[in-house]
């Protein structure tokens, strides 16, 4: 039975170089100030730093499936993959250009030796200003033919204030819950199709958007026995860690990056099953500052550290695929 190693990582403003001729003029105007000094050389240094971490995942073998956010386009993501030195891997990209005003999107990277993509889909979170999409892919495990769905998320930020912006994340949770119900209706097996939801939700497992609107819980039995689709949040056990989070804001840890799975990932007869205890925050010493928080790369206009990586830690989990 093959294992499918899955990772998620917020890459922290992975933009192409400033002044790139293919950039949309409206986007170029929107991000002009924040990209001052973001040259091809600095971009390339960030790509090299990120590639080191991807190479280290799963005991230096890299992920089979990697979800990422805060990436401008598939071109710059391909530049990153070109620097990942894992000869056994044949990484491909699934990407959708969203209407996000800053041009940062959600994408998937998958090893074409291990997985096939059957289908892709996306749904915009509707609010007053264009925002990033929810993005999902239907994947087939090549060795077994088993199928599962992965959903990538980057929910609205807390920049306007955690509580002031909370309704936008509640809307995102409600939208995703609706999408999952719609997807289940498309499969003969309904909600038994295995689904893994991942992302930077900009809320924690205990927040209303995650529990009341997305219907996430820490109780696996509740997920298995529920009539309506709910999700098991795999990050709850990690909230007891000494450093319980993927991002540190001021002195507080925030568990913003999370994996959730549906009933189809928990049932014993499923062809793709989650290994719940495998979920972890990936924080090797290389990517940490002395106080334990992520060592971010930043930008020339705001605290550039060319030996940094991202302001988020990655998270990892393993699926058992018969």
Residue 178's pLDDT band (boundaries 50, 70, 90)? very high
Residues 6+ apart with CB under 8 A from 250: none
Residue 23, sorted as left (phi over 0), alpha (psi -120 to 50) or beta, turns out to be: beta
Report which DSSP code applies to 132. P
Nearest alpha carbon to residue 201 among 227, 234, 241, 226:
234
Residue-level pLDDT at 322: 77
Tokens of 228: 């309506």
- Asked if 36 and 96 touch (Cβ cutoff 8 Å), the reply is no
Residue-level pLDDT at 162: 85
* 67-to-7, 106, 199, 216 alpha-carbon distances in Å: 6, 7, 8, 20
Question: Mean pLDDT of all residues in the chain?
Answer: 91
- Region 9-20: what's the mean pLDDT? 88
Provide the sign of the torsion angle of the four alpha carbons 174, 180, 186, 191, taken in this order: negative
Over 247-275, what HEC string results? EEECCEEECCEEEEECHHHCCCCCCEEEC
- Asked if 63 and 5 touch (Cβ cutoff 8 Å), the reply is yes
Residue-level pLDDT at 207: 97
- Region 113-141: what's the mean pLDDT? 78
Residue at token pair 């018969």: 322
Q: Mean pLDDT lowest for which of 55-59, 85-89, 132-136?
A: 132-136
Residue-level pLDDT at 125: 61
- Region 63-69: what's the mean pLDDT? 98
DSSP string, 29-76: HHTTTTTTT--HHHHHHHHHHHHHHHHHHHHHT--SEEEEEEE--HHH
- Region 129-157: what's the mean pLDDT? 89
- Asked if 120 and 98 touch (Cβ cutoff 8 Å), the reply is no
- Region 201-228: what's the mean pLDDT? 95
Residue-level pLDDT at 103: 59
User: Could you give the 3-state DSSP secondary structure of residue 218?
Assistant: coil
DSSP string, 80-109: HHHH---TT--EEEEE-----TT--EEEEE
Nearest alpha carbon to residue 255 among 267, 246, 263, 264:
246
- 3-321 fold: Deoxyribonuclease I; Chain A (3.60.10)
Residue-level pLDDT at 194: 97
- Asked if 319 and 148 touch (Cβ cutoff 8 Å), the reply is yes
User: Could you give the 3-state DSSP secondary structure of residue 77?
Assistant: helix
- Region 90-111: what's the mean pLDDT? 84
CA 218 to chain centre: 20
Tokens of 69: 């956010």
Residue 50's pLDDT band (boundaries 50, 70, 90)? very high
Query: Taking the model in full, what pTM does it have?
Result: 0.94
Residue 127, pLDDT > 60, answer no
Residue 75's pLDDT band (boundaries 50, 70, 90)? very high
How far apart, in whole angstroms, are the C-alpha atoms of residue 254 and residue 145? 37
Residue-level pLDDT at 49: 98
Residue-level pLDDT at 131: 59
> Domain coordinates of the chain in residue numbers?
3-321
- Region 18-29: what's the mean pLDDT? 70
First to last CA, the chain: 5
CA-based radius of gyration for the chain: 19
């Amino acid at each position: 039975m093959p294992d499918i190693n899955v990772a998620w990582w917020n890459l922290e403003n992975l933009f192409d170089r400033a002044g790139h001729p293919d950039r949309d003029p409206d986007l170029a105007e929107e991000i002009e100030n924040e990209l001052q000094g973001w040259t091809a050389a600095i971009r390339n240094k960030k790509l090299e730093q990120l590639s080191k971490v991807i190479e280290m995942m799963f005991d230096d073998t890299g992920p089979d499936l990697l979800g990422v956010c805060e990436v401008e386009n598939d071109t710059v993501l391909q530049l990153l993959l070109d620097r990942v030195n894992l000869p056994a891997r044949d990484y491909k990209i699934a990407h959708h250009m969203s209407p996000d005003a800053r041009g940062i999107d959600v994408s998937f990277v998958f090893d074409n030796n291990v997985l096939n993509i059957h289908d892709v889909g996306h749904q915009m979170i509707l609010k007053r200003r264009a925002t990033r999409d929810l993005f999902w892919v239907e994947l087939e495990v090549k060795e077994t033919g088993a199928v599962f769905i992965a959903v990538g998320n980057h929910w609205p930020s807390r920049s306007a204030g955690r509580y002031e912006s909370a309704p936008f994340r509640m809307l995102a949770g409600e939208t995703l819950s609706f999408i999952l119900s719609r997807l289940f209706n498309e499969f003969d097996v309904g909600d038994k199709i295995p689904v893994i939801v991942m992302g930077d939700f900009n809320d924690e497992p205990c927040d209303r958007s995650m529990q009341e609107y997305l219907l996430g819980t820490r109780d696996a039995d509740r997920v298995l026995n529920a009539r309506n689709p709910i999700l098991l949040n795999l990050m709850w056990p990690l909230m007891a860690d000494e450093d319980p989070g993927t991002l540190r804001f001021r002195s507080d840890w925030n568990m913003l990056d999370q994996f959730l799975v549906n009933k189809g990932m928990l049932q014993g007869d499923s062809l793709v099953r989650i290994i719940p205890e495998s979920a972890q925050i990936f924080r090797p010493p290389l990517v940490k500052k002395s106080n334990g928080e992520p060592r971010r790369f930043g930008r020339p206009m705001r605290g550039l550290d060319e030996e940094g990586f991202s302001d988020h830690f990655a998270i990892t989990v393993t699926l058992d695929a018969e």
